Amino acid sequence: MIVGARRPGTGTMPAARHEQWGSPLGIVDVPRPEPAAGEVRIAVEATSVNPIDMYTGRNAGYEQSMRLPFVPGWDVAGVVDAVGYGVTRFEVGDRVFGLAWFPYPAGTYAQYTAVPAYQLVPLPASVPFVEAACLPMAALTAWQMLDAAGVGSGSGVDSGCRVLISGASGGVGHLAVQIAVARGATVVALARPHDHAALYELGARSCVDYTDRPAVAAIGTVDAALDLVGGDFGGSLFDLVAAGGTVALATAWSIPQYRAAAEARGIRAVACLVEPDPVALTAIAGLVDTGRIRIVVGARFDLYRAVEAQAWVTNRLGFGKAAIVVGDREGQRERGGQAGTRGGSA
């Protein structure tokens, strides 16, 4: 049995699926899952696109956990539709959201998905499904990277520290800026100039064009860095971290000998891989509910435009997150899938 596989139900549902690795997503009818013991089935209102969706669609380094045909997606927001044996956390009709099954297949680009109940949290009434669907992977990645860097986590770097965040205009980055500010940090954001105004609104103290190498070098030292870009650029940020500081890396595999490079500079480098964390997600939901964190939905696509949603992220066509709206399913079928709408205020 494949880890994370779902037991099929009696009905079918539409899903966006890869038939071959690297092939475009196609909309197909697949068996509707039934929740196993400890799981709930969610009628998916929305999911969102994360860069790892495209990596797994090519099966780039995930051969042990992914099998064809493959439905991508891990973020989910929706309504509990059925409850498996032993579940006491939720009832049918509850609004929930979460990071499902990661790093094993969850298949949230679909009308329904079955998820362990403990990986979900209640969705505050003030938070729309589309915004909630854009939170779990991105916000938990930001939260856990800040924890790894010791930023406002109760140990390590004190609040009030200076934190550098690369890729600050992206899905993870714009949330990392806000969470770091909520923890009392001073944020230096690296992003394209046309995104600076939005980042200042989200709480960044200063913004620097990442393509301007002299300007980046002139930032001076920081207490911690979150690198969401990787490669040679990510490695260059090590020189900006003060001795004793930490750089948290989202793509450590793209920086050869990153541990040795950090040790040579008297700093620490930590490779981070997000994991489901309902306690942290509950805290994040509270920050959103009280207005301290705002999720920027840069574009919305329906399920029939999942390919375009992924292209929006791959080609960095906007600020924030790309959502896939799965609700209004019959309307989508009648329309054949409307083109994605671009927007969402920053």
Give the pairing of strands 321-325 and 268-271: unpaired
In CATH, which of 3.90.180.10, 3.40.50.970, 3.40.50.20, 3.40.50.880 is domain 7-135+295-342?
3.90.180.10
pLDDT for residue 343: 47
pLDDT for residue 61: 59
What's the CA gap between 22 and 56, in Å, rounded? 9
Cα–chain center distance at 318: 15
Residues whose CB is less than 8 angstroms from the CB of residue 5 and which lie 6 or more positions away in sequence, other chains included: 105
Cα–chain center distance at 61: 19
pLDDT for residue 1: 26
What's the CA gap between 342 and 213, in Å, rounded? 31
DSSP string, 109-162: SBSEEEEEGGGEEEPPTTS-HHHHHTSHHHHHHHHHHHHHTTSSSSSSSPTT-E
Residues whose CB is less than 8 angstroms from the CB of residue 256 and which lie 6 or more positions away in sequence, other chains included: none
The CATH 3.40.50.720 domain(s) of the chain lie at: 141-271
β-bridge partners, 342: 299
- For residue 299, report the phi and psi dihedrals to the nearest 5 degrees: -160, 150
**CB–CB of 248/272 below 8 Å?**
yes
What's the CA gap between 319 and 238, in Å, rounded? 26
What's the CA gap between 145 and 271, in Å, rounded? 9
What's the CA gap between 130 and 202, in Å, rounded? 20
Residue found by looking up tokens 């999942």 in the block? 306
Residue found by looking up tokens 């329904």 in the block? 112
Give the pairing of strands 112-116 and 120-122: unpaired
Write down the pTM of the prediction. 0.90
DSSP 212: -
pLDDT for residue 308: 96
Class of domain 141-271: alpha beta
Q: Taken in order 14, 19, 22, 24, is the CA torsion positive or negative?
A: negative
User: Nearest CA to 242 among 220, 226, 272?
Assistant: 220
pLDDT for residue 159: 55
Helix (H) or strand (E) holding 235: helix 231-236
Cα–chain center distance at 100: 12
Ordered per-residue pLDDT tens for the chain, 346 residues:
233 344 555 699 999 999 988 888 999 999 999 999 999 999 999 999 999 998 888 776 555 567 889 999 999 999 999 999 999 999 999 999 999 999 999 999 999 999 999 999 999 999 999 999 999 999 999 999 999 999 985 444 455 799 999 999 999 999 999 999 999 999 999 999 999 999 999 999 999 999 999 999 999 999 999 999 999 999 999 999 999 999 999 999 999 999 999 999 999 999 999 999 999 999 999 999 999 999 999 999 999 999 999 999 999 899 999 999 998 644 444 444 444 444 443 3
The CATH 3.90.180.10 domain(s) of the chain lie at: 7-135+295-342
